[in-house]
Amino acid sequence: MSTQKKAGTRREEPMMKSGARILVEALERLGVKIIFGYPGGSVLPLYDELTNSGIKVVLSGDERCAGHSAQGYARTTGRVGVCLVTSGPGATNLITPLADARMDSTPIVAISGQVASGNIGKDAFQEVAFQSITMAITKHNYLVTRAEDIARVANEAFHVAKTGRPGPVAIDFSKDAQAMKIDARNVAWDFELRGYHPERRLNTAQIDRVMEAIGKARKPMLYIGQGIVLGGACDELREFAEKTGIPVATTLLSAGAFPASHELNAGPLGMHGAAHTNYAIHEADLVVCLGARFDDRVTGNPKEFAKQAQFIHVDLDPSEINKNVAVQIPVAADVKEALAAMLTRAKDGHLEEWRGRIEELKKKYPMHYKPGSGEIKPQYVVERLSDMTSGKAVVTTGVGQHQMWTWQYYKFEKPRHFITSGGAGTMGFGLPSAIGAQFGRPGELVIDVDGDGSFEMNINDMRTVADNNLPIKVVILNNHMLGMVGQWQRQFFKGKYSSSEFSQDFPNFTAGCRDLYGIPGKRIKRREEVVPALEEMLKSKEPYILDCQIPKEENVYPMIPAGGTIKDIILQEEQGDTPPV
């Protein structure tokens, strides 16, 4: 009896693939080139499959470092950053990066392993309910227990992370979903998110109202936030400012979105912004907020912020409009599209008198610090660094005084060149985000300007720098204390230092990084050493640590106390001229 099958009736053999293999293929299809992570038992199937892929996997100092590196990569490139960690403590170590990314609208996808689906809810070894934990600090999250769902979820996650207002998405994969093999023909690659529609249709009637208000204003200000960068609207912003002549005030996260050297740049705004910028916005009769959110570090007491002004707020996220400050003209729209529409209606505002007033304020209340008598002033270090790099290096920071000095004195000329933690204020952010930035821009100069407290939090990531021979430069403004905490204790707690001082003798960062990781560096204590040391650092093609010993009690000025108003601003002592308020 013949066993030959008739032509056309042969069944196609199944193509069996593991869930881990499917996820790796999904990531490759999505254009992922690099993943920052730390392996563990619940993600070993995935790590094993990554060895057969074209994706580079970077071993970070720990899971928190992996998350911040993914943020640094995303912020410098505009692409989605990816991190991969194990279950339990590995996953919970991602809480801070996820919260930070949520606050600063950073698109990352955080992948974690989970115990086998049959053990979920049984307090198995290294089990935590990661989906529940991350619900409040992610844009969206998933728990995946079936291999059939992996490709669809990966596609959804990347779409959600990068569209609308960007943000973090977490995916928790059970170990058996990674290991189980299924017929790849049954894998669903397509997705449909029926309840997710982040696109905003521009209301042209509102744009007409905006331009009418601008036309009537005699003292208008553009107050810009990171939304200008995220929306790719830097060119439109510059063209609009130049066409109308309206001065531009920048926030911490928008540094570089409008060139610092531009004559219409009115300076940094907020708690530690320039005095002249804060005085100018106090005098403004119209504030046009573009892609910012009127956060407390800008407004202080929101009821007293720019009281003479009418407010226009353009933001992609309608939940931000009228949240902190009541606005007269709301525009819930893509800021790039809105600016393009505003440009078609823009006219010369004939604002010479107003711009002259701002120049007068700049001369009267410039960014200023006492030069000292030979010791290293942190502002001087940042000024020289800015000059020597022409304001074009990619600069990351931790959080604290060094962060503010960098924002104040480094003249950023390009967007996506200042990478810092804004909303969450995460110490330890500087080094791992610099690693992500360096991988994102391998041919560019990346500098982490850090404080001794912030740097020590994630110093373990120097191993990642050494392992990959990343030419990152680290400049530590070292005052042997938690600088901003100490400043507040001096200012508001009668100078009593409580748990904010470090030893004057250790740690020796340069010796430690040399001995532990083979990374060269130098420790300097005098002003005349600064320029030669910076020159040596910048000439090095290797990673380098420059430890600058600065005065312990140097303060960041100007300063508007939290919840205060422009009337409460604290200036340097020699800037004692009566404030114009």
Does residue 311 carry a catalytic annotation?
A: no
Plot region of 162 (φ>0 → left; ψ -120 to 50 → alpha; else → beta): alpha
Exactly one of 221, 484, 537, 559 is catalytic; which is it?
484
Please compute, for residue 368, the number of CA atoms within 13 A of its CA located in the half-sphere on the CB side.
15
Give the separation between CA 138 and CA 105, rounded to whole angstroms: 10
Does residue 221 carry a catalytic annotation?
A: no
Distances (CA, A) of 82 to 36, 226, 521: 6, 21, 31
Exactly one of 15, 16, 28, 125 is catalytic; which is it?
125
Q: Return all residues near 217 (Cβ < 8 A) that are at least 6 apart.
A: 285, 286, 310, 349
Give the separation between CA 358 and CA 355, rounded to whole angstroms: 5
Q: Return all residues near 564 (Cβ < 8 A) that are at least 6 apart.
A: 300, 301
Plot region of 270 (φ>0 → left; ψ -120 to 50 → alpha; else → beta): left
Q: Rounded to an integer, what is the distance from CA 290 to the centroid of its chain? A: 18
Are the CB atoms for 79 and 146 separated by under 8 Å? no
Give the separation between CA 433 and CA 333, rounded to whole angstroms: 30
Handedness of CA 540, 541, 547, 548 (dihedral sign): positive
Element (H, E) at 49: helix 44-50
Exactly one of 17, 139, 175, 219 is catalytic; which is it?
175
Q: Return all residues near 238 (Cβ < 8 A) that are at least 6 apart.
A: 258, 259, 262
Helix axes 530-539, 378-389, angle to 10 degrees: 40
End-to-end CA distance of the chain: 104
Are the CB atoms for 236 and 340 separated by under 8 Å? yes
Q: Tell me the one-letter amino acid at 333.
A: A
Does residue 126 carry a catalytic annotation?
A: yes
**E strands within 54-200?**
56-59, 81-85, 108-114, 140-144, 169-174, 181-183
* DSSP secondary structure, 255-291, as one string: TTSS-TTSTTEEEE-STTS-HHHHHHHHH-SEEEEES
Query: Encoding tokens for residue 333?
Result: 């729209």
Does residue 216 carry a catalytic annotation?
A: no
Does residue 192 carry a catalytic annotation?
A: no
Gyration radius of the chain over CA positions: 26
Exactly one of 63, 236, 456, 554 is catalytic; which is it?
63
Which of 397, 376, 403 shows the shortest CA–CA distance to 271?
A: 403
Give the separation between CA 172 and CA 130, rounded to whole angstroms: 7
Query: In the 8-state DSSP scheme, what is residue 253?
Result: G
- Residue positions annotated with a catalytic role: 63, 125-126, 175, 484
